[in-house]
């Protein structure tokens, strides 16, 4: 990491694109010569809205044009609302990158099963990009995406591209649909029957609300995928991002420092503990 992890680097909002009613994707470019280190799939940055506060946001795409950053932000609180309302050209602070990567570069020749729920697709999009850029290094690639309603679908251009790409099995399902919806309806775990993989040679990454991930993990294990081949991205109230403040503690781990991407085997004892 360049410099102190406490010092935000100044970035300006270069572009904004609306994903759905409460979700925007930002491109950020450094204001001066200083930039944060290159970010990897699964890592996150702390984005600072000056005078309001700071929030952790996963990288949602990795452009070849370093040091441009891409983050997708959901309007869920005071800081995110403030960030979303910033006009193009305004300045924010960025600290990072933090946390381990999805182990995508270390699983060559394996089949891949990605399960995303709602905005959980954002941290997995760089994984899909990496796989498609290195497609020959992987076996079967499946992406199962569940969301509440067709109106909540994000990254439309990417999804159309992925659905028409024969080298990747991309499936969407929604919980509720309008009458003209001709796609899948049902929970995302239902889609596992449509995935093609050899369980003994498969790695699975899950990202989404924790309840969804729990049921997604059960589906992976039921399908025969080994526990140590399942990874998930945990969300907690991260403040310092370097494992000092303790806000994001889960058992003996700090989500900001030890995660947000964890092997399931590390999180297994804690996933069913209420309000942990």
Partner 1 sequence: MKNIKEVLSDLSFFSDMSDEMLEFIAACGQNMHFSPDEYVGRESGSADYLFVITKGNIAVQLEHPTKGTFTIRSLHDGEIAGFSWIIPPYRMQFDLKAREHTSVVALDAGCVRKKCEEDHHLGYLMMKQSAIIMNKRLEDTRVQLMDIYSGRV
CB of 190 to partner 1, least distance (A): 6
* Cβ at position 272, least distance to partner 1 in Å: 15
> CA 144 to CA 216: how far, in whole Å?
10
- Give me the residues paired with residue 77 across strands: none
CA pair distance 155, 124, nearest whole angstrom: 12
Contacts with partner 1 in 99-118 (CB under 8 A)?
Answer: 117-118
**CA–CA gap between residue 254 and residue 199 (Å, rounded):** 30
- Choosing from 78, 108, 156, 194, the residue that interacts with partner 1 (CB under 8 A) is 194
DSSP summary character for residue 221: H
Burial of 109 (0-12, 13-18, 19+ CB in 10 A): exposed
**Region from 63-71, 85-93, 180-188, 243-251 binding partner 1, contact rule CB under 8 A:** 180-188
Number of residues engaging partner 1 in binding (CB under 8 A): 39
Residue 144, SS3 per DSSP: strand
Which of 119, 128, 131, 266 is close enough to bind partner 1 by CB under 8 A?
A: 119
The region of 25-33, 106-114, 135-143, 171-179 touching partner 1 under the rule CB under 8 A is: 171-179
Residues in 204-263 that interact with partner 1 by CB under 8 A: 207-212, 215, 233, 235
Tokens linked to 100: 């381990």
The CA dihedral of 56, 61, 62, 68, to the nearest 10 degrees, is: -70
Catalog residues that contact partner 1 under the rule CB under 8 A.
58, 74, 76, 117-120, 122-123, 146-148, 152, 173, 175-179, 181-187, 189-190, 193-194, 207-212, 215, 233, 235
């Amino acid at each position: 990491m360049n410099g102190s992890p406490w010092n935000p680097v100044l970035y300006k909002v270069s572009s904004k694109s609306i994903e759905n009613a409460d979700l925007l994707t930002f491109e950020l470019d450094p204001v001066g010569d200083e930039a944060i280190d290159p970010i990897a799939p699964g890592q996150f940055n702390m984005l600072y809205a000056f005078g309001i506060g700071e929030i952790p946001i996963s990288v949602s795409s990795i452009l070849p044009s370093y040091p441009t950053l891409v983050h997708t932000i959901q309007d869920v609180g005071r800081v995110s609302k403030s960030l979303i309302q910033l006009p193009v050209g305004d300045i924010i602070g960025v600290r990072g990158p933090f946390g381990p990567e999805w182990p995508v570069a270390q699983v060559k020749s394996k089949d891949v099963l990605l399960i995303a729920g709602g905005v959980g697709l954002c941290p997995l999009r760089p994984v899909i990009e990496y796989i498609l850029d290195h497609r020959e290094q992987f076996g079967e690639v499946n992406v199962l995406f569940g969301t509440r309603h067709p109106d909540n679908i994000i990254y439309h251009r990417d999804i159309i591209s992925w659905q028409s790409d024969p080298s990747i099995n991309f499936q969407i399902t929604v919980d509720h649909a309008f009458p003209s919806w001709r796609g899948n309806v049902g929970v995302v775990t239902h889609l596992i029957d449509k995935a093609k993989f050899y369980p003994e040679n498969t790695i699975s990454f899950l990202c989404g609300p924790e309840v969804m991930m729990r049921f997604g993990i059960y589906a992976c294990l039921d399908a025969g995928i080994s526990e140590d081949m399942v990874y998930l991205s945990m969300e907690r109230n991260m403040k310092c991002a370097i494992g000092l403040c303790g806000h994001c503690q889960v058992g003996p781990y700090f989500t900001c420092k030890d995660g947000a991407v964890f092997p399931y085997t590390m999180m297994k004892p804690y996933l069913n503990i209420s309000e942990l």
